[in-house]
Amino acid sequence: MINVLFFAQVRELLGTAQLSIEASEQTQTAEGLRATLAATDDKWAKVLASDKLLVAVNQTISQWDTRVNDGDEVAFFPPVTGG
């Protein structure tokens, strides 16, 4: 299983902080996992648009082509801004 975490506005818009998803061929990369989750419905597709997100795999900021394995933790969160 892959433990998926959602933070900040992503969590608020999806209405969930975390979920577990079975590792599969479709979830072998961060992008594959994102696309699989985005296919849930239109709301998830909009919230999980890759141009609006950052991803971390096992608590390390990662690229979308980062490999995801069974037992990994993947977090999705909006870009951080400040002033």
Task: Give the model confidence (pLDDT) of 27-60 as tens digits.
Answer: 999 999 999 999 999 999 999 998 889 999 999 9
Predicted TM-score of the model (pTM): 0.93
Tokens 């079975």 belong to: 22
Residue 5: partners with Cβ closer than 8 Å, 6 or more residues away: 17, 18, 73, 74, 75, 76
CATH architecture entry for 2-77: Roll (3.10)
The model's pLDDT over 3-14, given as tens digits with 9 standing for 90+, comes to 999 999 999 999
Structural contact between residues 1 and 20, judged by C-beta atoms closer than 8 angstroms: yes
